[in-house]
Structure 1
Amino acid sequence: MENLQCGDSDSREGDGLDHFVEKQLALLELERNEEVEQNTKLQEKYSVKELQSKGLCITKLVLDCAHTGLYGRTICKFRSCQHGAPLPSHGFSNGDIVGIVVASDASREVVCSGVVSSVAQGNIRLAFDDGRAALDGDDGRIFNLLKLANDVTYRRLKRTLEKLRKCREVRYNDLVEILFGTSSPTEVPLSHPQQPLEFFNKDLDESQKEAVAFSLRQKELAVIHGPPGTGKTTTLVEVVLQCAKRGSKVLVCAPSNVAVDNLVERLSDTPLKVVRLGHPARLLPGIARHSLDAILARSDDFGIIGDIRKEIDGLMSVAAKSKSKDKSYQSYGKLGELRKELKERERRAIGRILSNADVVLSTLTTASDDGPLKNLPESHFEVAVIDECSQALEVACWMALLRAPKCILAGDHHQLPPTIVSEAAAKGGLEVTLMERTLKRHGEAVMRMLVTQYRMHQLIMRWSSERLYGGRLVAHASVAAHLLRDLPGVEDNEDTALPLLLIDTAGCGMAELDTPDDESKGNEGEADLVAIHVERLISSGVSASDIAVISPYNLQVELIRLRLSSRHPGLEVRSVDGFQGREKEAVVMSFVRSNDTGTVGFLAEDRRINVAVTRARRHLAVVCDSATMSRHDFLKSLVDYISEEGEVRSAREYSADLELCSSTLRPSSIRLKEAKKPASKSKKKPCQESAQRSQDAVKLKQSAKHQSGTHHPKKPEEGASVQSPWEALVTKFAESADKQRSLPASLTAFERRTVHELAEKLGLIHISEGDGAERHIVLRKRADQPPKSDLPSCSKEKRSGKGTSEEASGGTEASHSKAEATNTDKPNEDEPTVDEPTAPSLCFKSQEAKNKPQRKKKQPETKPRAARDGNEDKDEDFDELIAKVMASDRTCGFERCNEKLHTALAGIGGPCPLCKRGFCFKHALPEVHGCGEEARTQARIAWHRSKGGTVAPSHIKPEKRAQVQRALDKRLAQMAESRKRQAKK
């Protein structure tokens, strides 16, 4: 049994109705002010492009068409300025308040505002109460849509509270008194208690049957607690059917369109007359036919209503095109009369439709007094059912509760609460839901819990059952042991045979991205691991549509989408909040947080973690840093549970696959904090050094990516730009007072060679340490080496001297000898021992030619034999390394291709004339291996010269560029001013 207690006398203090109303009004005001302030700051702080990346703006739209909708509102349809193109990714949904801005207006002044009535892939429709006068006479202008603070919902909630204050005078005061603790709930015996209740659904389990019977017996209040997968929606459908069977008119509400549509879909197969208010979130025929608009269109009244709407649309078109003000005024005057008549006819028609319905379904905000329900008398409904009550503000629930004398609440208060913007309002009590408050006050006396779950494998279920539901949940036999391998066409392997998997990144250098505090969090190492595991599942036969990847952070969602969505369009990658109420056969979770301080952020919200874990049916894979997660008790319990009941793998086990994830994929809008320079003499622990190498790898790869612009092999003329990040890193180390620097283990072979070459030029010790995936380059300075700023230049001119040349040629041997001497004198566990093999530096073939004669010089006989043997070993290692480099020249230069090159393919699959690198037949074309742009440029130059022309210089002097830029800016300003004057006319 859950630890629920009835309200004590001290909990009632200050909990009266008047106090509740005053407190909620103040908290709503805080929430409203915070929402407006954040919206204003965002629009002032960010550009239009950045707002679009955050989902707050849709750019480059044109007005496609307009027509008259319900209640005479004008519905305008906007589409992309590129006809047929889908809308960019955005966060707009039904009911949002949207401002329309002319795209060319730099001040972003809102021309007019409307409410989102529907959203499709290629268009968005806005409803305007006062017509579209600001858009009349539109000449193809391009608009941007900005999401504004939603004051409509705020006004509805405020009116509801004022109505609640006066509710003692209406006939539903018994329900109000019970919910505020001044009276106790009562039961009404069934009409025929001797006869068992006959259920419509014969497959209900015992807990579901008890919940239905209990809801029917209660006179004023019943609560159905439905943990994940226990069939709450199935139970509610049965409750609605039983109420309708007894002749009751039922109002069913939920905080989201998706939850409402789920109920509509289930009720559409019953003989009940169902009406769905508002626009269905999903365009399913079974749902759309039950919408109020669709039923109205099938009614006898629609003929006259349709004629009036057409006449209104015609007059609006005439008024917009008319140049005569008198004719425009006449048209608008007649429009007012037609709209008045239209509203009256629609009011009567809607009233008849709603009165004849057995069940009316809507979102909570649509159930307000200014919606379609205003056409019904206050006493029309006998029962109000609120699904997902634990996700709604209590004030929003009262919009439905004030319309019926009895209410049935359903939900799970151990899942996500409503979203609150203002931290002060949340702490003040705005996030406390009606379901939580009711159970705290009345406890088990008003609640029945569903205990048989039909979704999860019993091992996936058990953790949440024990931690949050008192261990009461029981997995149904049909799901208790089901696994991915049981699905048709899926292999039986080490991944598909596991219900629980933990991929642990602790100690693997996969730190989270260091983003600003007000930005979302991301972890590229975890994103790569998620992509690898998903690919394994799909290659095992699991359909991408049966897999969901979820993460608490939106930035991580974007990072994972960049890695997977293009290859697997059917794969869902969502935030935890966006996936509540859903389920998939396999769920892969990325917890993101990995830092030295153990900060877990809003992962500390237990209900969010519960939602994430309970989405999976057969397989749950968690990717996280166990060291960071273990700093929080609730998260630690999850890690410990999977460690005991499932399988734990270290991220190191995926090192071979991680090597293939060489490119850093990031959203263009990501912002990182500037890295702080560490103290020159600070000593790092091994784990800190590993994390530093990981961060260095991320930064350097990103820099290399931006400079190259492609992941294909680079051309020699681009070598300087590709090497610049490594050169900057090595040069910076040479100029600093640091004695040692470790580079990341994730460097590619080409990057390792580049670092060795640069270190050799600067006279640094450069050796490789570690084995396998942990092998990395360590840079050290010789004991007598001054900072780089004091060193002579390494240019050709200054290296021509004999002494410098000899030092350069023998630098490797000397540096290795001194390194061994240093290690012998002062051992350090972070450095290699004398016996540890080290990789010599990679050099150009020309350097090999220079070095060989000097190595063949006869050494003095007085030199110790051990030293001679060491030099011979180094010569052999060096020759072996040169052989490997020469062998690499005989393989295809395309990334990840190991095809051997053959002389027979010369001119076809041999060296590219542009980048001078060899490629196999498959990658021989310049357009394939990355030289396409260069090939096109050369072709254009050759064609131009063949026509007798000359090639224009590819650069422009800075002073000339500034002059041209000023002229362009002046011309653009003139054109913008001209457009403004035309618009005023």
Structure 2
Amino acid sequence: MAIDIPTFASTQLHLLEHELAIELQEISNEVSNNTPKSLSRAGLAIMNLTPVSQRTGLGGKTIVEMIPDTATGNEGEIPANGMRVGDIVALAEQPVGNARKSEVRDLEQKGVKGILVKITKTRLALALEDDRGDNTEALLSGQQRRLWIIKLADEVTHKRMKIVMERLGRMPERDYSNLMRVLFGLDSLSPVHYLDDDLDWIDERLNNSQKEAVRFALGSPTAALIHGPPGTGKTHTLIELILQMLKRQKRVLVCGPSNISVDNIVERLVPHKIPLVRLGHPARLLPSVLNNSLDVLTQSSEAAEIVRDVRKEIDCKQASIRKTKSGKERRQIYADIKELRKEYIQREKKIVKNLFRGCKVVLATLHGAGSYNMRDELFDAVIIDEASQALEAQCWVPLIGAQKVILAGDHLQLPPTIKSLNSKSKMRGTTTDRQLGIMKGISLETTLFSRLLELYGSQIKRMLTTQYRMNEKIMRFPSDELYESKLVAATAVKGHTLASLPYGVRETEDTIEPLIYFDTQGGDFPEKNEEENTFEYNSKNQNNDKRSKRVLTGESKSNEMEAALVKFHIQNLVDAGVKPEDITVITPYNAQLSLMTRTFKETFPGIELGSVDGFQGREKEAIILSLVRSNPKRELGFLSDKRRLNVAMTRPRRSLTVIGDSETLRYVETIFSS
């Protein structure tokens, strides 16, 4: 069914606005309702910082390095925290210990936004935004008391989605591209023009379903979907597709919803020695791809000399700021820096344009494709990996001017995470909704990948069917339940178990069986609500501030007896010779995750612990799944979502152990019925 583009755009804008409002409200509540120390204990802030140096980064941004103030008794070390490189933060003057909450909010609003580009035990670095006002000057002049950083919502991504949806909504119908008309069902799919069967394959090891997917994507005039179930070599297939496009003199933009999804492709393209550039802040990229990043390439190119002298002059002037006490002199230095920065940016733009001109493959996150460096860049095709984990509005950032798109993903795994309840529920088409131009049946969880499948069915997709990860017995349930029994285990993995690991593992009941189920029915393994089981981010800090504890976990579930059973099973595997680094414990609930971390992380330091949602896209030799839920009402919560169960069950290579109550989790019985 055709979709009205302006109505679609207004629906997306409404949902995105609500989603951002929820995110901002969460952050605001955390800052407003907690003391600075509580925020620090929850991992959402780092206190007692002092700036030690400044330099100029890509785009003329100021990079400021900070260290802990040794006078605070931290021995020069940054306290435990939940900050990660790439986080958006506010740098502000730190409130005094007895500051009222309103004062904390005021100080935070006077701060400067930035991106965390480095964090170690003893120092961190921020790339500040282009705010060159009095706030920045005051913060970096060394005249303030200690500084702190507070984690913020990522408004940049929302802003780019909003811009592209507004553009889509305003666009007159005469300007719709052929691709746009197909993606919204205004025109039908054009027939696939298959190339010769005897393609000159770059990788001859591709299986038949992978080769068919590449042929299909090459021959599709406007849009194609590659459905890649777990372990079927989706990324491997995309590399072949990109290389085949380059052989045909095509220019390709490759995107993904996350930095890791893009970096995985960069890592596999680099050995082929093709001219490529990876857009994105260096702080957010894997170390292995940095040499291909725009930042490094602009600094190492032959033309880079024309910006080095300006960068050096900016850095010298920034260093001189701290040496003067005169406000008039400082203001003049900042004015000089502002002019130098303009010159720096102009020179840098020329280098970037020349770099782009020589690159046939450009790689970026979906929102990164909307950066100013990408303006006026044209591509023959856009490839989006992990498309089923991306918001549709994100996908339109690179697609609004595109001619052709190939989406790769798996709609039967978890969709993008949505915080706003209204965004998750289908719109009811109330009078207010109609006045706003809201479509029925559309939510932020409706991805472009799944929408196109519903619109065109099997004619728009090809599915990869040979999987190279799981023992056949582990594969059987997801294959039969979700993938129409089409998955086939490759010979190399079909029968592998923990006992067949190459480093010598003893044969025991736990190492020769690929599927193990501990049934906890009977009521002796009851779940607990999070309120009964709160925890702090940093367990070394003992206090009774429940509000700060709940900042991290929220409402969740735990199960102490299941945690004990997990520990027992890990011990059996380790005693049999399985290396701890080959074992991962996953659970759907954060409270259970924190409980298990406290319970046995010290006993088994090599064991990885994680959430089901966070482990999507990864694999381990042995996976232990703690399902937690056990209650007389048989309430499942979000465990009723088969996509979450699918993700959990398809992470292991050789061994899957499930711990759960079959009376509560009736569907678990079907997995092990054989």
Shorter-chain TM-score bucket reads: 0.7 to 0.9
Q: 1:196–1:626: structure 2 CA closer, same or farther, 3 Å change rule?
A: same
In structure 2, how many angstroms separate the alpha carbons of the residues matched to 1:496 and 1:98? 49
Letter in 2 for 1:32: L
1:536 correspondence with 2:536: no
Deviation for aligned residue 1:141: 4.6
- 8 A Cα contact 2:527 2:559, kept in partner: yes
Q: Please name the residue that 2:447 is paired with.
A: 433
User: Is the Cα contact below 8 Å between 2:112 and 2:131 reproduced in 1?
Assistant: no
Matching residue of 1:104:
96
Q: What SS is found at the alignment partner of 1:361? A: strand
Query: Aligned residue for 1:782?
Result: none
Q: Displacement of 1:317 after TM fit?
A: 2.6
Distance apart, 1:543 and its partner CA = 1.1
Instruction: Give the C-alpha shift of residue 477 in structure 1.
Output: 1.0
In the alignment, which residue of structure 2 is the partner of 1:521?
557
Equivalent pair of 1:92/1:147 in contact (CA under 8 Å)? no
Aligned residues: CA RMSD: 2.2
Displacement of 1:248 after TM fit? 1.1
The within-5 A match list for 1:264-343 is: 264-279=266-281, 286-343=288-345
The 8 Å contact of residues 161 and 394 in structure 2, kept in 1 or not, is answered as yes
Output the CA distance in 1 between the equivalents of 2:331 and 2:174: 46
Task: Give the letter aligned to residue 470 of structure 2.
Answer: M
Which residue does the alignment assign to 1:76?
Answer: 64
1:274 Cα offset (Å): 1.9
Instruction: Measure the CA separation in 2 of the matches of 1:78 and 1:512.
Output: 44
Aligned AA for 1:94? G
1:87 to partner: Cα distance: 5.3
The answer to whether 1:553 aligns with 2:589 is yes
Aligned to 1:489: 504
CA apart distance, 1:435: 0.4
Matches within 5 A, 1:711-722: none
| Alignment of 1:616 onto 2:652 | yes
Looking at structure 2, the residues matched to 480 and 75 of structure 1 have their Cα atoms a distance apart, in angstroms, of 51
Per the TM alignment, residue 29 of structure 1 is displaced from its structure 2 partner at its CA by 1.3
Which structure 2 residues correspond to residues 823-842 of structure 1 after superposition, within 5 A?
none
Query: After the TM superposition, which residues 296-445 of structure 1 pair with which residues of structure 2 at under 5 Å, given as runs?
Result: 296-368=298-370, 370-374=371-375, 377-378=376-377, 380-427=378-425, 428=427, 429-445=443-459
Shift of residue 28, structure 1, vs aligned partner: 1.1
**How far, CA to CA, are the matches of 2:77 and 2:571 in structure 1?**
30
Whether 2:113 is the aligned partner of 1:114: answer: yes
1:772-831 Cα shifts (integer Å, max 9, x gaps): xxxxxxxxxxxxxxxxxxxxxxxxxxxxxxxxxxxxxxxxxxxxxxxxxxxxxxxxxxxx
2:461 pairs with one of 426, 436, 447: 447
Number of the residue aligned with 2:201: 199
TM-score by length of structure 1 reads 0.61
Q: Secondary structure at the match of 2:446?
A: coil
Q: Aligned to 1:51, which of 36, 39, 48? A: 39
- Preserved CA contact (<8 Å) 1:172 1:405: no
The answer as to whether partners of 1:268 and 1:286 remain within 8 angstroms in 2 is: no
What is the alpha-carbon distance in structure 2 between the residues aligned to residue 398 and residue 459 of structure 1?
A: 40
**Inter-CA distance 157–283: structure 2 relative to 1 (3 Å threshold):** closer
Q: Which residue of 2 aligns with 1:717?
A: none
Aligned equivalents of 1:195, 1:471: Cα separation in 2:
27
Distance 2:341 2:626 in 1: 53
Q: In 2, distance between residues paired with 1:585 and 1:214?
A: 33
The Cα offsets for residues 516-549 of structure 1, whole Å up to 9 and x where unpaired, read as 4942222121112112211221121111111111
Amino acid at match of 2:669: V
Map of 1:85 onto structure 2: 77
Does residue 37 in structure 1 map to residue 25 in structure 2? yes
Report Cα offsets for 1:573-601 as digits up to 9, x if no partner.
Answer: 11112111100000011111222222222
Taking a change above 3 Å as real, the CA distance of residues 547 and 60 of structure 1, as seen in their structure-2 partners, is farther
The reply to whether residue 24 of structure 1 matches residue 39 of structure 2 is no
Which of these residues, 145, 170, 173, is aligned with residue 177 of structure 2? 173
- The alpha-carbon deviation at position 409 of structure 1 amounts to 0.3
Residue of structure 1 in register with 2:541 after alignment: none
Q: Structure 2 vs 1, CA of residues 101 and 628 (structure 1 numbering), >3 Å: closer, same or farther?
A: farther
Task: Tell me if 1:576 matches 2:612.
Answer: yes
What SS does the aligned partner of 1:593 have? coil
Q: Distance in 2 between matches of 1:291 and 1:200?
A: 25
Letter in 2 for 1:435: F
> Does the 8 Å contact 1:79/1:87 carry over to 2?
no
Residue 342 and residue 280 in structure 1: after superposition, are their counterparts in 2 closer, same or farther (change >3 A)?
closer
Aligned-partner Cα distance in 2 for 1:331–1:143: 23
- Relative contact order, higher structure (CA 8 A, sep 6+): 2
Which amino acid counterpart does residue 671 of structure 2 have in structure 1? Answer: Y
Residue 143 (structure 1) aligns with: 147
Question: Is the Cα–Cα contact under 8 Å of residues 61 and 142 in structure 1 kept in the other structure?
Answer: yes
Map 1:767-916 to 2 at 5 A. none
CA shift, 1:185, in A, is 1.9
**Count of aligned positions:** 620
CA distance in 2, matches of 1:486, 1:283: 35
Looking at structure 2, the residues matched to 506 and 119 of structure 1 have their Cα atoms a distance apart, in angstroms, of 48
Distance change (3 Å), C-alpha of 1:283 and 1:413: closer
- Per-residue CA distance 1:33-88 (angstroms, 9 max, x = gap): 11222222222333444434544223444334321111111122334444663652
TM-score (ref. length: structure 2): 0.87
Change in Cα spacing, 1:79 to 1:591, as seen in structure 2 (3 Å) is farther
1:18 shift after superposition: 0.7
SS of 1:289's equivalent in the other structure is helix
The aligned residue for residue 188 of structure 2 is 184
Match of 1:465 in 2: 479
Q: Could you list the runs of 5+ residues in structure 2 that have no partner in the other structure?
A: 428-442, 533-553
**1:127 aligns to what?**
127
Aligned partners of 1:95, 1:171: CA distance in 2, in Å?
37
| CA distance in 1: counterparts of 2:78 and 2:624, whole angstroms | 29
Larger radius of gyration: 1
Q: Distance in 2 between matches of 1:549 and 1:60?
A: 35
CA distance in 2 between counterparts of 1:450 and 1:137 reads 58
Alpha-carbon shift at residue 93 of structure 1 (Å)? 4.6
CA distance in 2, matches of 1:362, 1:239: 17
Paired residue secondary structure (2:112): strand
| Pair 595,74 (structure 1): closer, same or farther in 2 beyond 3 Å | same
Give, as a single letter, the amino acid of the residue that structure 2 aligns with 1:501. Answer: I
Q: Does 1:152 align with 2:156?
A: yes
For the residue of structure 2 that corresponds to 1:569, the secondary structure is coil
Tell me, in whole angstroms, the C-alpha distance in 2 between the residues paired with 1:42 and 1:606. Answer: 33
AA in 1 matched with 2:516: L
Is contact 2:85-2:284 (8 Å) kept?
A: no
SS in 2 for 1:104: coil
Cα gap change, 1:332/1:284 in structure 2, threshold over 3 Å: closer, same or farther?
closer
Q: Which residue of structure 1 aligns with residue 542 of structure 2? A: none
Amino acid at match of 2:184: F
**Deviation digits for residues 484-536 of structure 1, max 9, x if unmatched?**
00012211111101111111222252212232494222212111211221122
In 2, Cα distance between the equivalents of 1:273 and 1:463?
Answer: 43
Residue type at the aligned position of 1:252: V
Please tell me whether residue 477 in structure 1 is matched to residue 491 in structure 2: yes
Identity %: 41
Distance in 1, matches of 2:89 and 2:456, equals 38
Q: CA deviation at 1:170?
A: 8.5
CA contact (8 A) 1:590 1:623 kept: yes
Distance in 1, Cα, partners of 2:6 & 2:392: 15
1:562 corresponds in structure 2 to 598
Shift of 1:194: 5.0
2:53 to 65, 73, 83: 65
Q: What SS is found at the alignment partner of 1:216?
A: helix
Question: Does the Cα contact within 8 Å between 1:224 and 1:449 map onto a contact in 2?
Answer: yes
User: 1:466 and 1:395, CA in 2 relative to 1: closer, same or farther beyond 3 A?
Assistant: same
Indicate how the Cα distance of structure 1 residues 184 and 618 shifts in structure 2: closer, same or farther if over 3 A, else same. Answer: same
**Whole-Å separation in 2 of the counterparts to 1:194 and 1:594:** 57
